[in-house]
C-alpha cells in the first residue's frame, strides 16, 4: 500500500487530514450505534422445558420416538410435563440415550 501513496509532503499532509476526518466520522458513528445498542432492551430467552417428547421422523408416523430432558442437546419436539414424561416412558417410548430422562425420573 505504501507504494500507492504520494511522495510529496503537501499531498501526504492532505491525505492525513482527510483520514483524520474520516476516522472522526467512524468514531462518531460507532458511538451512535453503541448508544442505540445499549438502549435496546435485551430479549428475554424462553425458558427451556423440563421434558421434551420427540416425534418419529417418518412422515405420517405419529408415534413418539424419544423422551428427553429439556436441556438435552438432542432434544427436538414439543414440551411435556413430568407426568406426561413418566407416562410416555412407562408406555413404551424410548428414553434418550444421551440425557437419560428415565434415570432422573427414577424409572
In this structure, the answer to whether residues 57 and 100 fall within a common structural domain is yes
pLDDT of residue 48: 87
> CA-based angle 75:81:84, to the nearest 5?
95
Enclosing H/E stretch for 67:
strand 64-69
pLDDT of residue 58: 67
56 lies in a domain? yes
pLDDT of residue 57: 73
45 lies in a domain? no
Domain interval for residue 89: 51-104
User: How many domains does the chain divide into?
Assistant: 2
pLDDT by position in tens, the chain (length 107) = 568 888 999 999 999 999 999 999 999 999 999 999 999 988 888 888 899 998 877 667 677 888 999 888 888 888 999 999 899 899 888 898 889 998 888 87
Report if pTM > 0.75: no
Amino acid at each position: 500500500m505504501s507504494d500507492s501513496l504520494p511522495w510529496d509532503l503537501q499531498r501526504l499532509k492532505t491525505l492525513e487530514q482527510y483520514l483524520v476526518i474520516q476516522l472522526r466520522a467512524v468514531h462518531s458513528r460507532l458511538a451512535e450505534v453503541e448508544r442505540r445498542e445499549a438502549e435496546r432492551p435485551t430479549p428475554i430467552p424462553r425458558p427451556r422445558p423440563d421434558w421434551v417428547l420427540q416425534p418419529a421422523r417418518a412422515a405420517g408416523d405419529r408415534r413418539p420416538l424419544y423422551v428427553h430432558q429439556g436441556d438435552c442437546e438432542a432434544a427436538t419436539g414439543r414440551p411435556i410435563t413430568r407426568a406426561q414424561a413418566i407416562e410416555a416412558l412407562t408406555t413404551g417410548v424410548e428414553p434418550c440415550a444421551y440425557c437419560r430422562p428415565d434415570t432422573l425420573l427414577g424409572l
